[in-house]
Amino acid sequence: MRDIREVRAYIDAHRQRRQSNKVLHGHPSPVFWLDRDVPVPTVMRSHRPEGDGVRKRINLYVGTPYCLPTDPGRCGFCLFPTEVYRDRQQLDTYLGYLKREGEMFRPYLGGAELSSIYFGGGTSNLYKADQYARLMDIVRGVFDVPPDIEVTLEGIPQTFSHEKLTAMRDSGINRISMGAQQLDDELIKASGRKQTADQVFRTLDSCRRLGLPVSVDLIFGWPNQTINHMLRDLKALVDAGLTHLTHYELNVAGRTDFSRHRREELPSTRQNLEMYRIGRDYLVSEGFTQVTPYDFQRSGSLPSTYLYEELFRKPLREDDGHLVGYDAWGWGFAGISFFFGTPRNPGWAYMNQTRVDDYFRDLDAGRFPVMRGFRYSEIDLRLHLLFQELQSLEVDRRRHLALVGRDAVDEHRPVWDALVDLEWAAVDDDLITIEGDGAFYLPLIQNALAHDRLDAMRKTRRAIGATGVPASGALDAEQRQEVVPVPAARAS
């Protein structure tokens, strides 16, 4: 966009619309990850750059495909690739394949330094108590796991028993992330999840007794949810002593039940903005700090880090005077990996198979279970790193310039001018800061920043589609979802 007026017109045309990709942090969306021949060994070698390249560490994500069946399917709102859970046998089989994938990658990643581990999904607390030690052994089969490393496991309230949480802790898992979404037993029914508020609080109590820090995911903008419902949930969790809360706006997209059948019951974008403001102000008044558009944290009795998420937002950092890069390796079903480099060699993002049969088939055939990927160009790497940093609501201009060779303000001046006018951002010589309603509108801000580049990419994609490489129309509905599994990465 050439000038501030164009940017304003773009924002005005889009700000009342539901924004998608609210849980997406990167650039470009997986819609553009169309390369089916990801050169995995070459990508892996970039993790160990020769000479005086950036030192690298691995931020590890391990996926689990399965979820309890619900009616409507996929909890009515979920955009992540998942498969329906039937029995323990599925989990045993899956763990066997996970181990095989690890063995394929051991020659490349064995001995790599791990920075943190996150077990996500799907539903990673469907495993039985005895399977958590096996899960950790599979990870130890590839990596030397340092004793004090942050290891998080994500799951749903009704399958966190005290016995399981004990087994998790004994196997080395030291942080829990619980997806509650709603605490109102009537509202949660819209998702078909057989979950009660009581189970949420019992899990919190078990975690406290076991010394496990815990964070909870809630969603606002839910069908028939009012501001009172939202405040009641936030207050109940604050009163229970919670120190980290993720408060996502409902992302409505694709062929989910909420998108197809519950639109009438959804609060409008205007009402969601109101909910966002009231929720944020309440949490801040209770001593929380806003660390991303949707993450709020405060200190509590249990010391805890949120390293996995932080390294996703700032994957290049100074450590002891050295520049250290944190690649993300997504291991297992639908895992998403980012192996990025420098402007001279910008790196790759890729995703593993999102159907469990395809994942198994590739491994049976001795192939890396990679579905498709994206080779960054310089401009895409710049945008990607800028998007990641914007998640923390602040961009250090000098650091960004040192990393990518261009100043983020100079490169996107009309966008920043428009955002400063709207009081969604502030810019000075050192920092770009997202403020006011800017955090709520961050997906729109990102779309404005990437507008011209995405236009150019769409044109190329159409041209490529005509020559036989699948264009997005050839992708199935799931693949078209903009989902990245980071809790957060989650790819959404």
Ligand X SMILES: C[S@@+](CC[C@H](N)C(=O)[O-])C[C@H]1O[C@@H](n2cnc3c(N)ncnc32)[C@H](O)[C@@H]1O
Cβ at position 248, least distance to ligand X in Å? 4
Which position among 179, 347, 438, 485 is part of the footprint of ligand SF4 (CB under 6 A)? 179
156 part of the interface to ligand X, by CB under 6 A: yes
121 part of the interface to ligand X, by CB under 6 A: yes
Sole window of 75-83, 299-307, 401-409, 413-421 interacting with ligand X (rule: CB under 6 A): 75-83
Cβ at position 219, least distance to ligand X in Å? 5
Residues 22-61 that bind ligand X (CB under 6 A): 23
User: In terms of CB distance, is 181 or 447 closer to ligand X?
Assistant: 181
259 part of the interface to ligand SF4, by CB under 6 A: no
122 part of the interface to ligand SF4, by CB under 6 A: yes
123 part of the interface to ligand X, by CB under 6 A: yes
Alpha-carbon span 143 to 110, nearest angstrom: 5
Cβ at position 384, least distance to ligand SF4 in Å? 25
Cβ at position 421, least distance to ligand SF4 in Å? 38
When CB distances are held under 5 to 8 angstroms depending on the partner's kind, the choice from ligand X, ligand SF4, none that residue 74 binds is ligand SF4
335 part of the interface to ligand SF4, by CB under 6 A: no
Cβ at position 413, least distance to ligand SF4 in Å? 40
123 part of the interface to ligand SF4, by CB under 6 A: yes
Alpha-carbon span 59 to 395, nearest angstrom: 21
Which position among 22, 47, 74, 280 is part of the footprint of ligand SF4 (CB under 6 A)? 74
Alpha-carbon span 11 to 13, nearest angstrom: 5
Cβ at position 152, least distance to ligand X in Å? 12
80 part of the interface to ligand X, by CB under 6 A: yes
* Contact mark string toward ligand SF4, 194..213, x via CB under 6 A: --------------------
Cβ at position 249, least distance to ligand X in Å? 7
When CB distances are held under 5 to 8 angstroms depending on the partner's kind, the choice from ligand X, ligand SF4, none that residue 250 binds is ligand X
- Binding-site size for ligand SF4 (CB under 6 A) equals 11
* Residues facing residue 232 across a β-bridge: none
HEC per residue, 225-278 = CCHHHHHHHHHHHHHCCCCEEEEEECCCCCCCHHHHHCHHHCCCHHHHHHHHHH
Cβ at position 284, least distance to ligand X in Å? 21
Sole window of 39-47, 243-251, 396-404, 424-432 interacting with ligand X (rule: CB under 6 A): 243-251
* Contact mark string toward ligand SF4, 125..164, x via CB under 6 A: -------------------------------x--------
User: In terms of CB distance, is 217 or 257 closer to ligand X?
Assistant: 217
User: In terms of CB distance, is 248 or 359 closer to ligand X?
Assistant: 248
330 part of the interface to ligand X, by CB under 6 A: no
Which position among 34, 38, 60, 75 is part of the footprint of ligand SF4 (CB under 6 A)? 75
* Site of interaction with ligand SF4 (CB under 6 A): 67, 74-75, 78, 80, 82, 121-123, 156, 179
